[in-house]
Amino acid sequence: MSESSLKRWADRGLLTVTRTAGGHRRIALRDAIRFVRERQLKLLQPVAIGLPALDADVQVDVAEVDEALLAHLSAGRASAAWHLLMGQFLDGRSIAEIGDGPVKAALRELGSRWTHDSTGIFIEHRATDLCIQIIQQMRLLVNRSDTTFRAIGGAVGPDPYILPSMLVACVISEQGGDATNLGPNTPLDVLRTASLGQDESPDLVWISTSVVKDPGELSRDISNFARECQSAGVQVAVGGREAAQLSLDHVPGLTVHGSLAGFAELAQSIMKSGSPSATGE
């Protein structure tokens, strides 16, 4: 874009800038990336802002992304997988769309192919690690200094999966939240201490449930925890592939989400209203 366009956008408040001591406009990398994505501008020279060049040979239509990512992850083509997902990200697809779409589809297919031999386990674990690396970089690019609310969460024990809770944290960060991910196999008591035992409570606590050992017991524990959070004005959001197994009480402020898009909508409502929404999916 021309220098005059950048100045005009900055002066209109469309592009966030700071001023140097000499009065020159300075654009933070995160603000530049956010501007490009929100307006779906074509990023011609990623290397100019510290990102690897996107290879045009691996750019595909949205309809073909799921199949292409599965092929790249199956073969361990780290660079191709990075270019594919980062290309989607820079083209304006949200982290929720990427997580609910190609990442979920590819990892679910790889998981279904498991024969519990060393080769199948190796391929799935390698694919998961590649996705984690890419999602972590996306989060660095969407983290904001002007966060509007705080959130904390994790995958409750005995859930060993890293990626689902990490994706929720990234989605919340993209929506302007300050997200702390406690990771996999987190006892509910740890979430209780982190959210209710501190000087300042978060606005939102998320719980990921990809593995559930005793649905009845976990349902009671989460329902009781949600009541405690309700008293403190804290929203509780539950998600994960096993969330449908839970029979949670109808506690105000407790919501269940079947997708990352649901968490994104919830985060948007908190950001806009300044307080948790009591509506759920």
Amino acid symbol at 164: P
Q: Where are the domains of the chain?
A: 9-41, 56-141, 145-273
pLDDT tens for the chain, 281 residues long, are 888 988 898 888 888 888 889 888 888 888 888 888 888 887 787 777 767 666 655 556 667 899 999 999 999 999 899 989 998 998 889 999 999 999 999 999 998 887 678 888 999 999 999 999 999 999 999 988 788 999 999 999 899 999 999 999 999 999 999 999 999 999 999 999 999 988 889 999 999 999 999 999 999 999 999 999 999 999 999 999 999 999 999 999 999 999 999 999 999 999 888 644 443 44
What pTM does this model have? 0.86
H helix runs in the chain, sequence order:
3-11, 29-38, 62-75, 78-90, 95-98, 104-112, 118-142, 163-174, 188-196, 215-231, 260-273
Q: CA-to-CA distance for 203 and 201, rounded, in angstroms? A: 7
CATH topology of domain 145-273: Rossmann fold (3.40.50)
Tokens linked to 156:
């409750």
Q: Is 183 left (phi over 0), alpha (psi -120 to 50) or beta?
A: left
Q: CA-to-CA distance for 129 and 34, rounded, in angstroms? A: 26
Q: What residues form DSSP beta bridges with 254?
A: 236
Q: What is the pLDDT of residue 54?
A: 64
